[in-house]
């Protein structure tokens, strides 16, 4: 997998449906232990709630779990997991807390409510795309910097660092699959008068 989608941050939001209060929470997690810790944190925060329904999806091992936490089977956790899957999200845990308001929602109403709880939590957490990337250092003379700067701006390439010493040194971040093409473009643009070196690889928001 050259890229994946997850959320930027923890987030929460809430709504009321037929006097029942639903609070959607979401958090970035990377392991099952982290997911369980987040679920327990929300349970502790809402000990008096009627239900704390959850779903999580992990990239490692492609683990997906969901629980209705006492709601009728299939009305809470699975609809929430469907929201995560529908957005292509991994490394994320979502909990929707319900305070019962006295009016039964029925199976369809519960499915819609827990789906909505997950959706507003995802919106609060904000989706980001993580891609396998590489940081490439460019070193060139000052008289080539204008050309290179124009190319970088035109192609909306992220500059991570810049140093203007005896020569110009820039560190740019690229998707891993774009490195070879970028290095070729730099050779063409400068008639091979720029040096490029991959200095790190990893997963970064792109």
pLDDT category at 39 given cuts 50, 70, 90 is: very high
Q: What is the pLDDT of residues 126-145, one digit of tens each?
A: 999 999 999 999 999 999 99
Mean pLDDT over residues 107-132, rounded? 97
Query: pTM value?
Result: 0.83
Q: How many domains does the chain have?
A: 2
* In a domain? residue 91: yes
d(CA 203, CA 181): 19
Structural domain including 172 reads 132-201
3-state secondary structure of 113: helix
Q: What Cα–Cα distance (Å) separates residue 39 from each residue in 34, 64, 152, 164, 183? A: 9, 14, 43, 49, 46
* In a domain? residue 112: yes
Pair (117, 173) in one structural domain: no
Mean pLDDT over residues 112-129, rounded? 98
Residue 199 pLDDT: 95
């Amino acid at each position: 997998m050259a890229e994946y989608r997850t959320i930027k941050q923890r987030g929460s939001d809430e709504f009321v449906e037929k006097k029942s209060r639903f609070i959607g929470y979401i958090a970035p997690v990377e392991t099952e232990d982290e997911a369980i810790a987040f679920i327990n944190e929300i349970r502790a925060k809402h000990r008096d709630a009627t239900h704390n329904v959850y779903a999580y999806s992990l990239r490692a091992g492609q683990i997906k779990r969901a629980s209705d936490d006492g709601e009728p089977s299939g009305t809470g956790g699975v609809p929430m997991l469907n929201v995560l899957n529908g957005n292509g999200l991994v490394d994320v845990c979502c909990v929707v807390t319900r305070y019962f308001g006295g009016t039964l929602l029925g199976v369809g109403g519960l499915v819609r409510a827990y789906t909505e709880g997950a959706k507003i939590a995802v919106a609060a957490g904000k989706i980001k795309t993580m891609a396998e990337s590489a940081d490439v250092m460019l070193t060139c003379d000052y008289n080539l910097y204008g050309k290179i700067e124009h190319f970088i701006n035109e192609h909306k390439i992220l500059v991570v660092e810049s140093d203007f010493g005896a020569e110009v040194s820039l560190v740019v971040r690229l998707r891993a699959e774009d490195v070879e093409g970028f290095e070729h473009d730099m050779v063409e643009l400068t008639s091979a008068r720029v040096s490029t070196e991959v200095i790190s690889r990893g997963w970064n928001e792109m």
